[in-house]
């Protein structure tokens, strides 16, 4: 069976470890968010966190994330030092008994949504990415130099129309959401910070970024392998270029390129059905056939796509990805590999009592509990019905 987990943002998270345990989790997905990106995770800090989780009766096997410094992605500045630090952190987490190390290679921004409280018909709230509003953010609110050159004439007309229709309040709301320093941060970027950071990526093409990722992997994967760790790269979310930045972990071919770059059991994937599924040309179920042996961690989540790249986060078993087919593939995969893959219900709707609480966008307790309970039932049903 899947190793059921939920993400916990640490002692300041309004969702407690006992909430997670009551949801039926055996494991907690965690990171040391207090350590600045690029610095070494010390054994002392890792142990402290591990003890907290174990005292609540659960285990910490999956890290999400051990973040990659921007200098490594750009391969400039102090990238060599940061790679050395990364290797040391890997050795330290392995020494403490952790197993899976999630990371991503998205330049500057992690995941992005234009609305973190999109009201559904039943008054629960979901995360929403509306491409038209994102264009408004990019062109009119952030005023990124050269942004107009990256959209088609038709898209520009849509953006202009949208901008003219939006109230001041709506504009501010979109601006605020797009600048959120997700995940797990209470701080937002300022527009000046984003514009300055974007400038530092000038001239870095998709191909270059990919080469930089491969160069990073060639250094860290052998260390991970020697220490019995599994590295798991998280896909881009949304799975295409934003703000003119290259994104290289969006498609099946991207994932194949990554796992083929070094053939090692340590070089694997965090298979996020929500991120990958936001792209209509990604066959999420088929990808499990191609990449199953490299899946070290699962984020199960669903999206409902509209035209134009818009999507919102649907119920876990609803939306465009057939979660029954996904689960069937996963159950068979685990039997074949004889492993229990860690899984977390990625995100959940804000609903019931959580509508009155403040939680990290997507990470309320009840919505995730609902998703987990549905997925758990689905897994049991699927596995009992398979010979
Ligand atoms: C969003 C998350 C991502 C993920 C990172 C992994 O909810 O799935 O922020 O943690 O991209 O490095």
Digit-coded pLDDT (tens) for 44-66 = 999 999 999 999 999 999 999 99
Atom 8 of ligand 1, nearest CA residue = 346
Over 90: is that where the pLDDT of 182 sits?
Answer: no
Q: Ligand 1 pocket, 110 CB below 6 A?
A: yes
169, 195, 221 — which closes off a domain? 195
Distances (CA, A) of 298 to 174, 178, 326, 330: 30, 26, 11, 9
Rounded to the nearest angstrom, the distance between the alpha carbon of 110 and the centre of ligand 1 is 7
Rounded to the nearest angstrom, the distance between the alpha carbon of 346 and the centre of ligand 1 is 9
| 93 and 211 part of one domain | yes
Contact in structure between 313 and 128 (CB atoms under 8 Å) = yes
Pocket test for ligand 1, best of 113, 183, 363 (most atoms within 8 A of CB): 183
Rounded to the nearest angstrom, the distance between the alpha carbon of 153 and the centre of ligand 1 is 33
Q: Ligand 1 pocket, 4 CB below 6 A?
A: no
| 222 and 327 part of one domain | yes
pLDDT computed for residue 42 by the predictor = 98
**Confidence band of 185 (pLDDT split at 50, 70, 90):** confident
162, 195, 228 — which closes off a domain? 195
Q: Does any domain span residue 87?
A: yes
Q: Ligand 1 pocket, 275 CB below 6 A?
A: no
| 16 and 43 part of one domain | yes
Atom 9 of ligand 1, nearest CA residue = 183
| 125 and 100 part of one domain | no
Q: Ligand 1 pocket, 111 CB below 6 A?
A: yes
Q: Ligand 1 pocket, 346 CB below 6 A?
A: yes
Number of the ligand 1 atom closest to the C-alpha atom of 65: 12
How many CB atoms lie under 10 A from the CB of residue 85?
18
Over 80: is that where the pLDDT of 181 sits?
Answer: no
DSSP, collapsed to helix, strand or coil, labels residue 129 as strand
Rounded to the nearest angstrom, the distance between the alpha carbon of 72 and the centre of ligand 1 is 18
| 312 and 380 part of one domain | yes
**Confidence band of 309 (pLDDT split at 50, 70, 90):** confident
| 16 and 77 part of one domain | yes
**Confidence band of 307 (pLDDT split at 50, 70, 90):** confident
Task: Enter the tokens of residue 304.
Answer: 């409902």
Q: Does any domain span residue 354?
A: yes
Q: Does any domain span residue 334?
A: yes
Task: Enter the tokens of residue 381.
Answer: 């049903």
At 74, which CATH number?
Answer: 3.20.20.150
Task: Enter the tokens of residue 138.
Answer: 């990019």
Rounded to the nearest angstrom, the distance between the alpha carbon of 232 and the centre of ligand 1 is 11
| 183 and 264 part of one domain | no
Angstrom distance (rounded) from CA 5 to CA 7: 7
List Cβ neighbours of 357 (8 Å cut-off, separation of 6 or more). Answer: 14, 364
Q: Ligand 1 pocket, 191 CB below 6 A?
A: no
| 254 and 289 part of one domain | yes
pLDDT computed for residue 187 by the predictor = 79
| 84 and 123 part of one domain | no
Over 80: is that where the pLDDT of 183 sits?
Answer: no
Domain count, the chain: 2
Q: Ligand 1 pocket, 274 CB below 6 A?
A: no
Q: Does any domain span residue 200?
A: no
Q: Does any domain span residue 37?
A: yes
Q: Does any domain span residue 209?
A: yes
How many CB atoms lie under 10 A from the CB of residue 332?
16
DSSP, collapsed to helix, strand or coil, labels residue 353 as helix
pLDDT computed for residue 201 by the predictor = 97
| 247 and 364 part of one domain | yes
In the sheet that holds 115-119, the strands lie side by side as 115-119, 125-129, 311-313, 303-305
* Helical residues (DSSP H) of 186-345, grouped into ranges: 191-199, 206-226, 252-261, 273-277, 284-291, 323-337
| 13 and 96 part of one domain | yes
Contact in structure between 247 and 109 (CB atoms under 8 Å) = no
Catalytic residues: 234, 272, 299, 346-347, 363
DSSP, collapsed to helix, strand or coil, labels residue 352 as helix
Compute the mean pLDDT over every residue in the chain, rounded to the nearest whole number: 96
| 243 and 330 part of one domain | yes
Number of the ligand 1 atom closest to the C-alpha atom of 272: 8
195, 229, 244 — which closes off a domain? 195
Over 80: is that where the pLDDT of 265 sits?
Answer: yes
What is the rounded average pLDDT of the residues 256-274? 98
Instruction: For residue 343, give its domain range.
Output: 3-108+205-385
Angstrom distance (rounded) from CA 295 to CA 333: 10
Q: Ligand 1 pocket, 227 CB below 6 A?
A: no
Task: Enter the tokens of residue 200.
Answer: 């530092």
Contact in structure between 117 and 350 (CB atoms under 8 Å) = yes
Number of the ligand 1 atom closest to the C-alpha atom of 234: 6
DSSP, collapsed to helix, strand or coil, labels residue 7 as strand
Number of the ligand 1 atom closest to the C-alpha atom of 274: 8
Token pair 């530092």 is at which residue?
200
Rounded to the nearest angstrom, the distance between the alpha carbon of 386 and the centre of ligand 1 is 32
Angstrom distance (rounded) from CA 205 to CA 218: 20
């Amino acid at each position: 069976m899947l190793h059921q987990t939920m993400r916990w943002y640490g002692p300041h998270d309004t969702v407690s470890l006992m909430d997670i345990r009551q949801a039926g989790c055996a494991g907690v997905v965690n990171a040391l968010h207090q350590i600045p990106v690029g610095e070494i995770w010390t054994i002392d800090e890792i142990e402290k966190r591990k003890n907290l989780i174990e005292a609540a009766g659960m285990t910490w096997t999956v890290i999400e994330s051990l973040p990659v410094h921007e200098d490594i992605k750009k391969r400039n500045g102090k990238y060599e030092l940061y790679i050395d630090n990364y290797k040391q952190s890997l050795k330290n987490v392995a020494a403490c008994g952790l197993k899976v190390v999630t990371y991503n290679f998205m330049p500057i921004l992690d995941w992005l949504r234009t609305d973190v409280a999109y009201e559904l018909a039943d008054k629960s709230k979901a995360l929403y990415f509306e491409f038209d509003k994102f264009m408004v953010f990019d062109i009119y609110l952030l005023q990124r130099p050269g942004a107009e050159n990256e959209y088609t004439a038709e898209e520009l007309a849509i953006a202009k129309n949208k901008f003219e229709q939006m109230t001041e309040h709506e504009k501010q709301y979109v601006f605020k959401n797009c600048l959120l320093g997700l995940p797990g941060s209470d701080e937002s970027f300022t527009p000046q910070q984003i514009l300055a950071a974007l400038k530092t990526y000038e001239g870095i093409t998709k191909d270059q970024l990919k080469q930089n990722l491969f160069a990073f992997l060639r250094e860290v994967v052998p260390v991970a392998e020697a220490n019995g760790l599994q590295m798991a790269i998280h896909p881009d979310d949304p799975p295409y270029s934003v703000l003119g930045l290259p994104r290289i972990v969006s498609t099946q071919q991207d994932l194949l390129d990554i796992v083929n770059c070094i053939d090692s059991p340590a070089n694997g994937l965090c298979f996020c059905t929500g991120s990958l599924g936001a792209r209509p040309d990604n066959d999420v179920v088929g990808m499990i056939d191609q990449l199953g042996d490299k899946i070290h961690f699962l984020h199960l989540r669903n999206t409902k796509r509209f035209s134009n790249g818009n999507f919102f986060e649907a119920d876990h078993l609803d939306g465009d990805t057939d979660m029954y087919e996904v689960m069937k593939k996963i159950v068979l995969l685990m039997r074949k590999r004889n492993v229990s893959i860690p899984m977390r219900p990625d995100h959940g709707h804000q609903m019931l009592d959580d509508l009155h609480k403040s939680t990290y966008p997507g990470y309320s307790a009840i919505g995730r509990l609902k998703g987990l309970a549905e997925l758990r039932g689905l897994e049991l049903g699927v596995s009992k019905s398979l010979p």
